[in-house]
A and B are shown apart, each in its own frame.
Chain A
Amino acid sequence: MTDTNDLLIDLSGVRKFFRAPDHSDRIVLDDVNFQLRQGEIVSLLGKSGSGKSTLLRIIAGLIRANGGKVHYRGQPINGPVRGISMVFQSFALFPWLTVQQNVELGLEALAVPAREREERALEAIDVIGLGGFESAYPRELSGGMRQRVGFARALVMRPDVLLMDEPFSALDVLTAETLSADLLELWLERKIPTKGILFVSHNIEEAVAMSDRVLVFSSDPGRVKAEIPVPLPHPRDRDAPAFKALVDQVYAIMTQRPLRPVGAEPLSLGYRLPSATPHKIEGMLETLLEPQFNGRADLPALADELQLPDDVLFHLLEAGALLGFIKVDEGDATLLPLGRTFAEADTNDRKTLFAKQLLSHISLASHIRHVLDERRDHRAPEGRFIQELEDFLSDDEAERVLEQVIAWGRYAEIFDYDYTSGVLSLPEEEEENGSAGEDVAAE
C-alpha cells in the first residue's frame, strides 16, 4: 500500500440514502470504497442514476453521506473544503458577472485582497486560454468558452483536488476534445498545482483517453463494480489497438450484468426503465440488421454508426434486451430471432409484437393495462401509478419511469394518455368494443 501522505481522498464504506415519501429509505450508494492518490486522474462511469454524481457531491462536501468515512488528507470532510474545487456540467456561471468577476468569486468569498484576487484571476484566465475576454459576460461566450470560465474559476482556487461532473458532456464533440486535451496538457506539464483529478463521465472513450484509472459503477444501489487501470502513456492514440481494446473492455463490463434472459421472472414494478423512445429502438434494431453488422455488432462500432453518446446507447441496449429483442454480452449486441422479426416487420406488426413483449416483460406496463381493464370506465389518473412507483423511486425518477412506460404503451397502442388531465385510459377503439384489446393483452 502507498504511503498515507499520498492519499488525497479516502472513502470507505460510504452509504447514502434518500428518504422516500413513505419514510422508507432508498439506497443510492452502498458501501463505496475509493481512494484518490496524488498524481492520478480517475474517472467514474456508470448508468445514469448509479449515484456517481452523488458520490462526487459527497466528496465536494455539498451533501453528506449517511455512513462511512469521507476523508480529505486524513481529515473528515464536513462541508466544501478549501482544497477541493469543482467544475459543473452546466457550467453554473453567474450570468450577471463578467468572466473575471466569475473567476474571482471564490477568492472574494474568502476575502482575498483585491489586488491579489485580480492577479490570480488574470493568470487563471490566461492559462485556460481566455485572455482578452476578461470583461465579457457569459452570455456572450460559446459553450466551450463558458466551460473554460468554469475551469478558470475552479483552478484559480489552486485546488489540490479537482472534481468535474461531466465537464464536457454539454459541449459538441470537437469542442469537448479540444478542451479535454488542453486540460490534460496543463496537467501533464504541471502548469496547474492540482494534485488529483476525479471526474464523472458518460463517454467511455473520453474516460479512457484521460484517466489513469476508470471506475465503473453499478446501480441500485450504486457501488464500485470494477476498476480498470489505464497504463497507456500520454499522448494516447485513440486509434491504437491497445486503446481500442481497453475501450472494448469497459463496454463489456458496463453491459455485463443486465441482461436477463428472455422469459426470466418479470421485472419488479419499480424497475428503472431505461429512457429510449420506441423509434430509437426501431432504429437500433434496423441498424443491427444491416449487412455490415448482420445481426451482431461490437458496441463501440454500433455507437459510432448510430452517432449516439454512450449513455443513450446503453439505455437503448437495455430497452432492447428487456423487451427480448437483443442480447448483450462481452461488448457485443446480438439480434435475437424476435428482434429480427420485429426489424423486418411492417408498422402494424411491429406494434403488435411490441405490445406483446411490453405486456409480458415489463410488469409496470402489464400492471397499468390490468388496472385499466378492471376499471369500469377504463380510466385511471397517473397520480395513482406515480404513488406506487414512489415506493421504489425518487419523485423525479418515478415520473420519468411512468413517462417512459406511457411512451411505450402509446406506441404499442395498449393504452392512451391525456396530458391535460393526466389520465391514462384504454385506446378509444378498444374502449368501444370492450374486449377487442384482449387478444393483445392475452399473451
Chain B
Amino acid sequence: MPRTIIPGAVGLGPNLRPNAWDLAVLPLLLAILWVLAFGSAQMTTPYNIGDPLPISLDPGDLPYYLLRSFLRMAAGLAVSLVFTLVYATLAAKSRYAEKILIPVLDVLQSIPILGFLSITVTGFIALFPGNLLGVECASIFAIFTSQAWNMTFSFYASLRTVPYDLREAADMFHLSTWQRFWQLELPFAAPGLIWNMMMSVSGGWFFVVASEAITVNGQTITLPGIGSYIAMAIAAKNLTAIGWAIVAMLVGIILYDQLFFRPLVAWADKFKFETVPGEEIPTSRLLDMMQRARLLRAFSMVPGMIWERSLILFRKRSDGLSPPPGTRLRLPWFDRIWTVFLLCVAGFAVYRVGDYIKAEVGLDEVVHVFLLGLATAVRVIVLIAIAALVWVPVGVWIGFRPRVAQTVQPIAQFMAAFPANLMFPVAVILILHFHLSVEVWTSPLMILGTQWYILFNVISGAMSMPSDFRAVADNFGLKGWLRWKRVILPGIFPSFVTGAITASGGSWNASIVSEMVSWGDTTLMATGIGSYIADNTQRGDFPRIALGVAVMCCYVMLFNRQIWRRMYRVAEERLRID
C-alpha cells in the first residue's frame, strides 16, 4: 500500500463511500478551511503608510484578531518548515555549502529576533507598495526568525546522524536521492523536527504579540491581531481589554495544540527510532476521526498519488553496471581555496560593518553599548540562577510523582507558550504603585515567559530517571544534600541544560521588550542593551539599531560557546544515562 505523508491515506479500502465519521470530520474541516480562506484574504488589503489601522477594543472583535494572529503564526511555521528542509538538506549534503551555511545559521540564531523586525520592515514595505501585505510579511518574517533556526539545526543534526546501516540499505535497495529523502531521511528526522516545531510555536507567540505593532520611521503600524489589541489596550490603560486578550490567547494556544500538534505527534509516533518501554503512546481524537473518515481518505489520495508519482519519476536509472555519468573530480586544493575565500568574504563584511558603525556612531558609543550588554548579561545570569534554584527542586518534586506530573506538565508547557509580554502592564502598574526600582524590578519580566522551559525540562528529566537510581539511593540511605549531589542533580542535569539553554536564549530576546515597558503614557526604562535597541527602534535610528543588534549577537554567541555548549558536552558525555 502507498505510504504517504498525508495522514489517512494509508490503506485505501475498496469502499470509499462516506461513513459516519465523515459526518463529524467534514463540517469541521470545511469550517476550518473557510475561516482560513477568509483570514488570508484580509491580509492583502490596500494600505499606505500613514493610513490609520483602527483596532477596536471590543471583545467581540477578538476572535477575528485571534484568527489573524493564528494565520501569521501558521504562515511563519510553513515558511520555517520549507526553509528548514531546503537549508538543512543543502548543508548536510554539500561540504562546500556546509562551510557557509552552518556558521551563518549559528550567527542568525544569536541575532535578537526583534532586531530583525526593525531592520527588515522597510524592505518588505517597499516590496509591496500600497498594500498591507508588506507589513504582514515583515511580521511573518519576524515570526519565522523566531521559529526557523532550532528547527533547521535539529533537521541538520538528524540528517547527519541517519544510521549508517540504514543508509547502506537504502543504497543497496536502489533508492534514489529523492526517494531516500522521503523514505529514510525525513521519517528519521520527523520526531525531532516536530518536537522543535512545537517549541518554535511555543516561543513564537511571544513574537506574534511583539511584532504586530511595528514602528517605522516614527509611524506605528498596528496589524489587526492580538498583539495590536494588547498594544492598544496598554495605550488606553484598559485592564478589562487585557483580560479578554489573555483569554483569547489561551484559546489560540489550545486550538493550535488540539487541531495541529496533537494529531501530528500522534501520527508521527511511528517514526520514533527507538521506543522507550512503558512510555505513553500519544493519541489524538481528531487524528482517529480523520483516519476513520472515508471521504477524507479519498481526498488525501490526490496528494498521496502525486507523491507516489514523484517517487517513480525521480527513481534511480543506473543499474550499477553501466559506467556512471561522469565521475566527479575531486581537487584536494579546492577545499582550501574555498575556505580562504569564505574567510576573506567574512573578514570584508566585518570590516565594512565596523567601518559603518564607526563612521555613524563612534567608538565611544560602541564601548558604551558593550557595557550595556554587560548589564543585561548580569541580569540573564542572575535570573537563570534564581529560576534554577526555584524550579529545579519543584520540578524534581513533581517529576518523582507521576500523578502530579501528568497534570502539571501540560500546564508548564502551556505557560512556556503563553506570551509573557501580556503580563508586562501588570508589572508596570505594580512598580509604579509601590515605587520600586526600575533597574531591578523590570528584570524578572525577562524570564517571566522563559523560566517554564526550565521547569518542564526538569520535570521530564526527573520522570525519565530510572527508578533503580532512586531505589539504590534509598537502599544506601542517601539523604539530604548527598542525595542531591550524587543522584538527583547528575540525573536531571542533561534535561536541565536543555531547558536552561532555551530559557537563556529567550531571555536575551525578551530583554528588548522587557527593559522598556509602558503603561499608557508612562514608560519605564532599565539600563541595558535591550532598552537601547528598543529605544532606538522607536526613534528609527538605523545605525544604532544595527550596533545594538550586533553587540547583543556577540554576547549571545559568547554565552552559547563558553557556557552552554560546554555544559551540554558534559551532559552528553558524562552524565548520559544509557
A-side interface residues toward B, CB under 8 Å?
57, 60-62, 72, 75-82, 84-86, 88-97, 100-101, 105-106, 108-111, 114, 137, 139, 153, 157, 419-420
Contact = CB atoms under 8 A, between A and B. Distances in A.
Contacts of A90: 165
Given A97-B3, A105-B183, A109-B175, A78 B320 contact: yes
A78 B323 contact: yes
Nearest to B180: A109
Contacts of B320: 61, 72, 77-82, 84
B357 interface: no
A86 B172 contact: yes
B364 interface: no
B27 interface: no
B176 interface: yes
Interface in B154-197: 163, 165-166, 168-169, 171-176, 179, 183-184, 187
Nearest to B268: A96
Contacts of B311: 108-109, 111
Interface residues of B, number: 37
Nearest to A79: B320
B352 interface: no
B321 interface: yes
A96 B166 CA distance: 12
24 contacts: A57-B168, A62-B168, A62-B171, A76-B323, A78-B318, A78-B324, A79-B320, A80-B320, A81-B321, A82-B174, A84-B320, A86-B169, A88-B165, A91-B165, A92-B165, A92-B168, A96-B271, A100-B1, A106-B174, A109-B175, A109-B179, A109-B316, A111-B311, A111-B312
A419 B165 contact: no
Interface of B: 1-3, 163, 165-166, 168-169, 171-176, 179, 183-184, 187, 270-273, 275, 311-312, 315-316, 318-324, 570, 573-574
Contacts of B179: 109
B184 to A, nearest CB: 7
B323 A80 contact: no
Nearest to B190: A96
B13 to A, nearest CB: 14
B3 A157 contact: no
Nearest to A156: B173
A62 B315 CA distance: 17
Contact of A111 (B271, B315, B318): B315
A106 B271 contact: no
A60 B172 contact: yes
A81 B322 CA distance: 10
A77 B321 contact: yes
Given A94-B187, A97-B3, A109-B179, A80 B171 contact: yes
A91 B163 CA distance: 12
A376 B312 CA distance: 67
A25 B320 CA distance: 27
Contacts of B273: 95
B574 A62 contact: no
A96 B172 contact: no
A137 B10 CA distance: 14
A93 B166 CA distance: 7
A145 to B, nearest CB: 17
Contact of B184 (A57, A94, A114): A94
Given A60-B172, A62-B172, A137-B270, A78 B165 contact: no
Contacts of A139: 275
In order of increasing CB-CB distance, the 3 nearest A-B pairs are A106-B173, A81-B320, A92-B169
Given A61-B320, A78-B321, A82-B320, A110 B2 contact: no
A84 to B, nearest CB: 8
B171 A105 contact: no
Contacts of A96: 187, 270-271
Nearest to A60: B172
Contacts of B169: 86, 88, 92-94
Nearest to A118: B1
Contacts of A61: 171, 320
Count chain A CB atoms within 10 A of each CB in B3, B166, B172, B270 and give the residue with the most. Answer: B172
B172 A85 contact: yes
A110 B322 CA distance: 16
A90 B316 CA distance: 25
Given A61-B171, A81-B321, A109-B311, 5 more contacts: A80-B171, A80-B320, A92-B165, A94-B187, A96-B187
A93 B318 CA distance: 23
A81 B173 CA distance: 9
Contacts of A86: 168-169, 172
Contacts of A92: 163, 165-166, 168-169
A82 B315 CA distance: 13
A79 B175 CA distance: 12
A425 to B, nearest CB: 18
A111 B2 CA distance: 12
Contacts of B321: 72, 75-78, 81
Contacts of A85: 172-173
A114 B2 contact: yes
A378 to B, nearest CB: 24
A216 B393 CA distance: 60
Contact of A420 (B176, B315, B318, B574): B574
B333 to A, nearest CB: 12
Contacts of B163: 92
Contacts of A91: 165
Contacts of A108: 311
A153 B172 CA distance: 11
Nearest to B165: A92
B3 A94 contact: no
Given A94-B183, A420-B574, A88 B322 contact: no
Nearest to B309: A111
A110 to B, nearest CB: 6
B173 A105 contact: yes
Contacts of A114: 2
Contacts of A110: 174, 315-316
Contacts of B176: 109
B279 to A, nearest CB: 12
Contacts of B271: 95-96
Contacts of B175: 105, 109
Nearest to A23: B332
Given A94-B187, A109-B316, A80 B574 contact: no
Contacts of B323: 76, 78
A84 B321 CA distance: 11
Nearest to B319: A82
Contacts of B1: 100-101
A90 B324 CA distance: 29
Contacts of A88: 165, 168-169
Contacts of A153: 173
Contacts of B315: 109-111
Nearest to B3: A101
B165 A80 contact: no
Contacts of A101: 1, 3
